[in-house]
Amino acid sequence: MRALCWEGADALAVREVPDPELRNAHDMIVRVRRSATCGGDLPLLGGRSPFLAAGDVLGHEFLGEVAEVGPQVRRHRVGDRVVVCASVACGSCWYCRRGQHACCDNGDPAPAVAEEAWGQPTGGCYGHPRATGGFTGSHAEYVRVPYADVGAFTVPETVSDDRAVFASEAAPAGWMGAELGEVGPGDVVAIWGAGAVGQLTAQAATLLGADRVIVIDRHPERLRMAERHTGAETLHYEQTDVTAELRERSGGRGPDVCVEAVGAADGGGRPASLAERFAGRRAGRGVDALAVREAVHACRKGGTVFVSGTFTGFVDTFPLGAVMHKGLTLRSGRQHGQRWIPMLLERMARDELRTEHLATHRLPLEQGPAGYALFRDRADGCVRAVFTPRG
């Protein structure tokens, strides 16, 4: 089959790779119809993961048709149209039974890698290195789906592929930021990042009753899109004093809930130079998490900061003093999609949750390298490139 493979730092190519195969009785094989880029891919693309190997297939947000099922799969049949949660989780362990699927004890077949990096292994993720399972990614014609009854969800007929593909990760990540941030009626919510997750956090906050939602970014086209599709207010962080503005818009208190939806992908106004990147990596220096720092600074006393962005290692200059003295609650996590995807698909079917505008660039898989270049550089107004393997 054809697949988009990582070839080295900032190098991708579409190549012929072996078809996936059923490896466990609970597996199924999905023929991919849509597979989206994600900001979490960018550190991988840039070669900042020591565990990615040349030839690994990227991609973890996808939708497709069931092509083959293992003998223990009960909920799906060949031909079903399904969206697959980006997190691989068993559905049976203590964490899964509490809705914390991304923390699954049994979703990573090589747990020693994550244990070394983070203390305990976590659930798996498609198209990521061995620290999260090493499962082959979805930018391909076919994907193996472990624990298929737990991670794959039949898409309602009325929901289009272009809408439902975002139920794989971006929509549950957005919902998680708002729900676990404990957004409630009357709240002022500030969201750093107007990408897909940031915009879907804004929609979720509104659905959960927030009084005022403010989205912060530096890309004008993303800010305009957030205003048009989520009804949020926006701030361009290079053109205003964000903290002062948020204080003014929240009665001097600061936002009740601050959600960081940027991650290590787009943390500042200029990309690091080659020398900085080299020195940083050689010295093991952490990422400068500007948005996290600003969220902590802006948040009201006793409020909640939720970190949705993808980080894999260390960050510099984290303001722990402000967290402590203001009595903040700091939460984070990879999305526990299995917990929310059925609800999100229902909301999509009722037209309460609209996502298709986020797919600003729909491309055949063969144009994957160009799609990632657009996405990485935020060029041509790109919010998400979505690939169609047989397009």
Minimum Å gap between C-beta 377 and other proteins is 28
Distance CA 269, CA 159 (A): 37
In Å, how far are 114, 117, 145, 168, 222 from 121, measured between CA atoms? 5, 9, 19, 22, 35
Distance CA 123, CA 144 (A): 16
Smaller CB separation from other proteins, 211 or 366? 366
Residues linked to residue 305 through DSSP beta bridges, in sequence order: 258, 330
Minimum Å gap between C-beta 361 and other proteins is 26
Smaller CB separation from other proteins, 3 or 307? 3
Beta strands in the chain (DSSP E): 2-8, 11-16, 28-36, 61-69, 81-84, 87-88, 124-125, 142-145, 152-154, 188-192, 212-217, 233-236, 257-260, 287-288, 304-307, 315-316, 329-332, 359-364, 384-388
Minimum Å gap between C-beta 138 and other proteins is 13
Closest by CA to 195, choosing from 260, 105, 100, is 260
Smaller CB separation from other proteins, 72 or 240? 72
> CB neighbours of 303 closer than 8 A, spacing ≥ 6?
254, 255, 256, 257, 258, 326, 328, 329
Smaller CB separation from other proteins, 58 or 386? 58
Smaller CB separation from other proteins, 72 or 317? 72
Minimum Å gap between C-beta 308 and other proteins is 27
Minimum Å gap between C-beta 97 and other proteins is 7
Smaller CB separation from other proteins, 142 or 175? 142
Minimum Å gap between C-beta 71 and other proteins is 11
Pair of tokens at residue 67: 């092509």
Minimum Å gap between C-beta 287 and other proteins is 29
Smaller CB separation from other proteins, 132 or 250? 132
| Interface residue list for other proteins (CB under 8 A) | 15-18, 20-21, 23-26, 55, 72, 90-94, 97, 105-112, 133-136, 144, 146-147
Per the listing, tokens 């499962």 go with 135
Report the helix count and the strand count for the chain, using DSSP H and E: 13, 19
Minimum Å gap between C-beta 9 and other proteins is 20
Render the burial of 334-353: b for 16+ CB within 10 Å, e for the rest. bbbbbbbbeebbebbbeeeb
Smaller CB separation from other proteins, 125 or 261? 125
Cβ–Cβ contacts within 10 Å for residue 99, how many?
11
